[in-house]
Amino acid sequence: MTSDPTAIEDEELKAVKYANLHRALLTGLLSTIAHKTENRGEYLAARQQKAKIFPASTVFKQVPPWVMAFEVVETSQVFMRTVAKIEPEWIISAAGDLLKYHYFEPHWSKKTGRVKAYAQISLFGLIIISKQLTNYEQVNLVESREIFIRDGLVTGNLGRQAPFLQHNMDKIADIERIEDKLRRRDLLVDEEALYQFYDKKIPEHIASRKAFEDWRAEVEKTDAKYLFFTDDDVLNSQAPTTGDFPEMWKLGDLKLPLRYVFDPSSDDDGVTIRVPLAALPQLDAIELLWGVPGWRYELVLQLLKSLPKDIRRQIVPIPDTADSLFDELQPAGGQGLLKQLCQALNRRGVMSVTPDSFNPSSIDRYLQPQICVVDDKNRIIEKGRDLQTLQIRHASETRQAVNEQQGTHTEFPEHFAFSKNHHSAGVVMKQFAALVADVSGEAVSIHQYTDVNAALQAHRIGVLTLIKGKLGAKKKQLTSQIDKIFKLAFAPLGDMEKLKTIVIDAALDASLEEHYVLFDHSADLPESADDTAVALAEELPFTPKEYEKTLEVVSGNFLLTGQNVIKILKNVYTRWQRIRQSLLMLDREVFGESIEDIEDQLEDLHLADFVYRMDYSHWQQYPRYLEALEIRIERLEHNLESDLEGVYALDVHMERLANCANDKAISEYRWMVEEYRIQLFAQPMKTHMAVSPKRLSKMWDKMS
């Protein structure tokens, strides 16, 4: 069934006629309009009178939001009779001057370029519109102009790119940066002074962006810098120089941006160095301790105050001591701040002070630079003021190669360059190349690292891989000296092929360690390179010519060194077999704690592949460690009480080494524990170093 178009038009025409009629009647019935409340069936009329629609009304069940009534009667309740539905807009157009306007929350609208406010419109106490956005300039020009200047110009939120505004905001930002560096808040004038600057220059009728831009276009025809701030406009006093507060931190070729914040309540108080994750290993904790030159005197003063009381007595008054030795400090002298302070105090007769006497953690936080670690997209990963903690925490990521060049090599590449500059996250930093051995151990490829130590360690293995491929018959000559006793001793850990590979690799390792050619590669290393990196770089070739020299020396000494390596390894595995048999003969119910400690020690020694886990200087000590174990087991039956005392003395050290005995960060401590075992269980065997519980604790504090 289709609808009749003529009928629809008639209905629409009737609706328009009724609406016009209601509007006409509304003019005379303004006092009887009403608005529905939250209570069911209740309306609020003019002058706060509450009423209901008479039940007989045709709109009673419709409950429209707004109504007008022809009459209001009061019986047991107040009822509105002859009621019609209306729209609030009709009231606004009909009431005219009877309406009351209340304006609130005037504000600058950056989007529209005007000062806006909200208007509340009421009639006879009845709120018609509660919140209507309006142009406040037409209501209160004086107040609108003030808001325009304060919120549109002083704060830089005009909403248009204007040369004067960019200049003014830059000048304010520059002064705020100076305040952050000098840690004071009295250089920049207050907002009222900035307001007065604009108030004196801008005509009184201007309160919007359009009017301002029209006026500015005319003014700048004669004076292009009419609205530009000068130093006198924004400074309370002459700005001091800030040459001792650099914008960039320079460490060799590494340049890192600095940001200063003066807010003691903030975690960012002080100076923050933004560092790409890949460049984190290239930072030097000793270099960082020098801090910002402009704060260095305060740093020295607080470091002197952190000394033990018996030393402080010798340097009072401390401020005078800080003044006298400050000029002697040389940041570019290659020595750390603490060491130079010690030397300066030694020259003044204070001989008991050492770098460990100071307590850098006690100085004010702002004097300790904050490291902000970011990824290659400049997103923050982590912040912290302890560089070593950050480096250890991210070591697994930073020690990985950052990229790999395609292709493999069985000869030393002609185009190999150990170090080069690289851009990452807007920072120029060093990258270090390494020849990395492939899975087969027969060829190498070039990988790039940002951690110089990781690069050198990988490069060492790569160089040995190339040399291994040139040994030819020498490998067979060496492995033919593996006798039946050696083979049987190793058998629980692998077959003959595995043993041959270990012997060859260990012999190469020892040959390079004992017979390397000395090279000067100091120019290729970053300033932050530690002693380990320097020593390692001196024995590794970085060019084909250097490689040829290394190849000649290592291969020439391979067989002779290899014979000594076979003796060491045979000694290790035959002693290990005797230890295993001795442990099987012990009663676990009686000697259980001692047996468990011995097994823990053997597990940490990783006898199956120890030659790959540590350097030659450490693994050649294995025969001593196992000899000490044999002596311990031999004495155990008649020395159980003393042995258990040793086990208990080791408990704290074994807990520290749990799951991290091969962590290079604590290597020095780990080998000191092995020497401590010799002292506890195998006297009169001699240790390679002085060792005691106190020395161990001191070493652990240093390592951790």
Q: Domain map of the chain by residue range?
A: 22-95, 145-234, 452-585, 589-704
Instruction: Provide the edge-to-edge strand list for the sheet that holds 126-135.
Output: 100-109, 114-123, 126-135
Averaged pLDDT, 347-353: 88
pLDDT tens digits along 359-384:
888 899 999 999 999 988 889 999 99
Comparing 20 with 57, the larger pLDDT belongs to 57
Q: DSSP labels for 666-681?
A: GHHHHHHHHHHHHHHH
Is the bond leading into 684 cis (omega within 30 degrees of zero)? yes
Q: Is the pLDDT of residue 3 over 60?
A: no
Which H/E stretch holds residue 50?
A: strand 50-53
Q: Are 229 and 150 in contact (CB under 8 A)?
A: no
CA–CA gap between residue 325 and residue 323 (Å, rounded): 6
Q: For residue 190, which of 168, 207, 177, 172 has the smallest C-alpha distance?
A: 172
Longest dimension (CA), the chain: 124
Averaged pLDDT, 545-562: 95
What contacts 395, CB < 8 A, 6 or more positions away? 665
pLDDT tens digits along 119-166:
998 888 788 888 889 999 999 999 999 999 999 999 999 998 899 999
What contacts 185, CB < 8 A, 6 or more positions away? 179, 262
Q: Are 75 and 51 in contact (CB under 8 A)?
A: no
CA–CA gap between residue 477 and residue 481 (Å, rounded): 7
Averaged pLDDT, 301-316: 92
pLDDT tens digits along 436-449:
998 888 899 999 99
Return the pLDDT at 681: 94
Q: pLDDT-derived band of residue 273, with 50, 70 and 90 as boundaries?
A: very high
Q: DSSP labels for 528-546?
A: T--HHHHHHHHTS--SHHH
Q: pLDDT-derived band of residue 1, with 50, 70 and 90 as boundaries?
A: very low
Return the pLDDT at 2: 47
CA–CA gap between residue 465 and residue 471 (Å, rounded): 10
Return the pLDDT at 104: 93
Q: Is the pLDDT of residue 4 over 90?
A: no
Return the pLDDT at 334: 63
Q: DSSP labels for 54-118?
A: -TTSTTTTT--SEEEEEEEEESSSEEEEEEEE--HHHHHHHHGGG-EEEEEEEEEETTTTEEEEE
The number of angstroms, rounded, from the C-alpha of 457 to the middle of its chain's C-alpha atoms is 27
Q: For residue 456, which of 360, 531, 387, 515 has the smallest C-alpha distance?
A: 531
Q: Where are the beta strands (DSSP E) in 180-294?
A: 248-251, 254-261, 270-276
Q: Is the pLDDT of residue 212 over 60?
A: yes
Is the bond leading into 55 cis (omega within 30 degrees of zero)? no
Comparing 574 with 239, the larger pLDDT belongs to 574
In degrees, to the nearest 5, what angle opens at C-alpha 297 toward C-alphas 295 and 302? 95
CB atoms within 10 A of CB 8: 10
Return the pLDDT at 699: 86
Comparing 188 with 28, the larger pLDDT belongs to 188
- The β-bridge relationship of strands 248-251 and 254-261 is antiparallel
CA–CA gap between residue 469 and residue 480 (Å, rounded): 18
DSSP reduced 3-state for 527: coil
Query: Which range, of 91-100, 258-267, 444-453, 554-563, averages the lowest pLDDT?
Result: 91-100
The number of angstroms, rounded, from the C-alpha of 347 to the middle of its chain's C-alpha atoms is 40
Q: For residue 334, which of 325, 343, 323 has the smallest C-alpha distance?
A: 343
Which H/E stretch holds residue 384?
A: strand 380-384
Q: What per-residue string of b and e applies to 410-430 under the rule 16 or more CB within 10 Å gives b? A: eebbeebebbeebebbebebb
Block residue for tokens 């990258």 = 431
CA–CA gap between residue 89 and residue 373 (Å, rounded): 59
pLDDT tens digits along 293-303:
999 999 999 99
Flag whether the pTM goes above 0.75: no
Burial class of 287 by CB neighbour count within 10 A (0 to 12, 13 to 18, 19+): middle
Q: For residue 139, which of 207, 78, 200, 38 has the smallest C-alpha distance?
A: 207
Which H/E stretch holds residue 370?
A: strand 370-374
pLDDT tens digits along 15-39:
555 555 555 555 546 778 888 888 8
pLDDT tens digits along 614-646:
889 899 999 999 999 999 999 999 999 999 999
Which H/E stretch holds residue 382?
A: strand 380-384
Q: What is the CA radius of gyration of the chain?
A: 42
Q: Which residues pair with 249 in a beta bridge?
A: 256
Q: Report the amino acid identity of residue 90.
A: W
Averaged pLDDT, 176-201: 92
Q: Is the pLDDT of residue 241 over 80?
A: no
CB atoms within 10 A of CB 682: 20
Return the pLDDT at 295: 92
What contacts 126, CB < 8 A, 6 or more positions away? 33, 34, 35, 44, 45, 46, 47, 48
Q: What is the mean pLDDT of the chain?
A: 88
CA–CA gap between residue 212 and residue 592 (Å, rounded): 91
Q: Report the amino acid identity of residue 509.
A: D
The DSSP letter of residue 190 is P
Q: Are 465 and 442 in contact (CB under 8 A)?
A: yes
Q: Is the pLDDT of residue 509 over 80?
A: yes
pLDDT tens digits along 397-415:
888 887 777 778 999 999 9
CA–CA gap between residue 255 and residue 251 (Å, rounded): 6
Instruction: Provide the edge-to-edge strand list for the sheet that holds 254-261.
Output: 248-251, 254-261, 270-276, 370-374, 380-384
